[in-house]
């Protein structure tokens, strides 16, 4: 593992007019499983850092903005290693400004954007242009992946050294698998030399071609071509072995199948450097949703069966799955409001991630809150960044949450430019009120009363 970088080393516009002043979260329920903090505290943010963690009511700093956080919770902010910001090329669906605003609204202090744009991000000039735009527009720190292969064609490696030099955070052809084992091997040789992460969308197109939804009872009943779980797990097994052989490190994206979880477990037990993620939709929904023929439930990998969902939950609990990632994938209504077979794959997810997991898995007692909080920022370290922590001296990456608040997803609109959420209309518990990213206030919920200067 190379040296981990602070989240503030990513590009963003800094702050939105809020002075980088002193903040006190007064009497908040502070929870950070990494540092073991769990209880009522005053938390002081100064000079972009967590400056103090005192007994409730004890912090007293002149000129500070005091936020009455009694009954509210403060966690390390979330970090999403897998989002699609659709820039360049599909700014009608999302851009850096709207996508990063959605991230801030969801409690994320940093996101990493995939390279399957139009055209794909595969030159140093592309990376430089995106980074410059992020410095002007991004509401939270944003990093940019570059393609593993030129034009995402799966044949020739991109200029990986040059792309790394220009500030790409890693390499991924996400959206498409790398089907050639020879190309994968060469990419992982480079990974080992250069250290930057390689993130993999695992799918064997020979097995998945033509499929729209999970291959199982529902696809058979509906007569819709299926995508079998083994199209994912067999490729993970192949790439884990190539990574082991080349002593390289891989990050597997959006695990969906129980065979994939066990494949990752076996690889980890054998000492392979492999990390992986699961999405809120795969953790909380199954292919039963497709009986409605609603295209909002169509994504790749597809929603799978209940046994798969249970395996993902167990993997998240045990740590076999390192992190929750949204795979936030905005699409225009023209691409989604069509029959299932014709609809584009993908759902947005940044603004609902915490609330969905909290409502569906924490409140019913399926997962512990601490586990969820840890996994929601668990993508930072495997991708090369310091995980957000709550302890004096740490960069302030914090989220303020009202776990009692109820809201209807999408009722007040979305910060994302697209509205293809598979959770729209659901009553959710737990609302992000404020996000502090790299020491600056990146987001305040509209209905949340501002603190007062003391």
| Ramachandran bin of 347, using left for φ above 0, alpha for ψ from -120 to 50, beta for the remaining angles | beta
Residue with token string 């995402």: 152
Distance CA 89, CA 97 (A): 14
**At its nearest, how many Å lie between Zn ion and the CB of residue 412?**
26
**At its nearest, how many Å lie between Zn ion and the CB of residue 378?**
17
Binding of Zn ion at residue 174 (CB under 5 A)? yes
> H/E element holding 161?
helix 160-165
Cα angle for residues 166, 167, 171 (degrees, 5° grid): 105
DSSP 328: B
How many other CB atoms are found less than 10 A from the CB of residue 49? 15
Q: Which residues contact 375 (CB under 8 A, 6 or more apart)?
A: 316, 321, 322, 323, 324
Do the Cβ atoms of 325 and 411 come closer than 8 Å? no
How many residues at the interface with Zn ion, by CB under 5 A? 3
Give the DSSP per-residue string, 385-442: BPPP--STTSB--EEEEEEEEEEETTTT--SSS----TTTT-EEEEEEEEEEETTEEE
Binding of Zn ion at residue 239 (CB under 5 A)? no
For 66, the 3-state DSSP assignment is strand
Residues facing residue 250 across a β-bridge? 274
Which residue has the closest beta carbon to Zn ion?
201
**At its nearest, how many Å lie between Zn ion and the CB of residue 178?**
12
Q: Which residues contact 120 (CB under 8 A, 6 or more apart)?
A: 147, 151, 152
Sign of torsion over alpha carbons 178, 179, 182, 188: positive
Cα angle for residues 349, 300, 322 (degrees, 5° grid): 65
Among residues 114 and 320, whose Cβ is nearest to Zn ion?
A: 114
Residues 175-214 that bind Zn ion (CB under 5 A): 201
Among residues 256 and 359, whose Cβ is nearest to Zn ion?
A: 256
- Residue 327 bears catalytic tag: yes
Distance CA 148, CA 128 (A): 17
Distance CA 39, CA 295 (A): 43
Residue with token string 């795969």: 282
CA 82 to chain centre: 5
Residues 121-160 that bind Zn ion (CB under 5 A): none
**At its nearest, how many Å lie between Zn ion and the CB of residue 253?**
5
Q: Which one from 11, 173, 174, 327 is the annotated catalytic residue?
A: 327
Stretch of residues binding Zn ion (CB under 5 A), selected from 96-104, 125-133, 148-156, 168-176: 168-176
Q: Which tokens is 282 given?
A: 């795969």
**At its nearest, how many Å lie between Zn ion and the CB of residue 85?**
11
Among residues 22 and 114, whose Cβ is nearest to Zn ion?
A: 114
DSSP 321: S
Among residues 303 and 396, whose Cβ is nearest to Zn ion?
A: 303
Residues 303-332 that bind Zn ion (CB under 5 A): 327
Looking only at the bridges linking them, the beta strands covering 273-278 and 249-252 are: parallel
Binding of Zn ion at residue 94 (CB under 5 A)? no
**At its nearest, how many Å lie between Zn ion and the CB of residue 269?**
25
> H/E element holding 350?
none
**At its nearest, how many Å lie between Zn ion and the CB of residue 203?**
8
**At its nearest, how many Å lie between Zn ion and the CB of residue 344?**
12
**At its nearest, how many Å lie between Zn ion and the CB of residue 46?**
37
Rg (CA), the chain: 21
> Mind telling me the catalytic residues?
327
Binding-site ranges for Zn ion (CB under 5 A): 174, 201, 327
């Amino acid at each position: 593992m190379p040296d981990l970088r602070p989240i503030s080393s990513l590009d963003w516009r800094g702050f939105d007019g809020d002075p980088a002043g002193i903040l006190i979260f007064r009497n908040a329920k502070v929870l950070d499983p990494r540092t073991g903090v769990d209880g009522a505290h005053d938390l002081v943010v100064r000079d972009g850092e967590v400056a103090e963690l005192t007994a409730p009511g004890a912090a007293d700093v002149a000129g500070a903005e005091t936020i009455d956080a009694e009954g509210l919770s403060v966690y390390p902010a979330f970090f999403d290693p897998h989002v699609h910001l659709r820039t360049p090329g599909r700014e009608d669906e999302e851009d850096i400004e709207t996508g990063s605003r959605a991230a801030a609204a969801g409690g994320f202090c940093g996101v990493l954007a995939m390279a399957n744009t139009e055209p794909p991000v595969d030159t140093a000039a592309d990376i430089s242009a995106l980074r410059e735009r992020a410095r002007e527009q991004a509401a939270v720190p944003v990093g940019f992946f570059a393609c593993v292969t030129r034009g995402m064609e799966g044949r020739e490696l991109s200029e990986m050294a040059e792309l790394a030099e220009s500030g790409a955070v890693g390499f991924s052809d996400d959206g498409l698998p790398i089907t050639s084992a020879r190309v994968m091997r060469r990419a992982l040789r480079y990974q080992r030399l250069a250290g930057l992460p390689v993130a993999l969308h695992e799918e064997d197109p020979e097995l998945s071609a033509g499929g729209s939804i999970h291959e199982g009872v529902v696809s058979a009943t509906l007569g819709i071509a299926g995508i079998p779980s083994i199209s994912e797990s067999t490729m993970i097994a192949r790439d884990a072995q190539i990574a082991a052989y080349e002593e390289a490190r891989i990050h597997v994206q959006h695990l969906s199948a129980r065979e994939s979880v066990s494949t990752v477990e076996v690889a980890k037990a054998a000492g392979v450097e492999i990390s992986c993620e699961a999405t809120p939709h795969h953790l909380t929904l199954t292919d039963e949703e497709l009986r409605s023929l609603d295209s909002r439930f169509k994504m790749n990998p597809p929603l799978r069966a209940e046994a798969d969902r249970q395996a993902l939950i167990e993997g998240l609990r045990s740590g076999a799955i390192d992190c929750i990632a949204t795979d936030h994938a905005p699409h225009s209504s023209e691409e989604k409001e069509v029959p299932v077979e014709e609809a584009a794959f993908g759902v947005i997810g940044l603004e609902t991630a915490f609330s969905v997991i909290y409502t569906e898995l924490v409140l019913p007692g399926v997962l512990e809150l601490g586990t969820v909080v840890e996994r929601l920022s668990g993508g930072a370290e495997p991708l090369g960044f310091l995980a957000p922590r709550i302890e004096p001296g740490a960069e302030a990456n914090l989220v303020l949450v009202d776990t009692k608040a109820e809201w209807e997803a999408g009722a007040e609109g979305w910060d994302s430019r697209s509205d293809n959420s598979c959770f729209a209309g659901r009553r959710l518990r737990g609302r992000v009120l404020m996000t502090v990213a790299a020491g600056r206030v990146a987001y305040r919920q509209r209905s949340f009363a501002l603190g007062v200067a003391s």
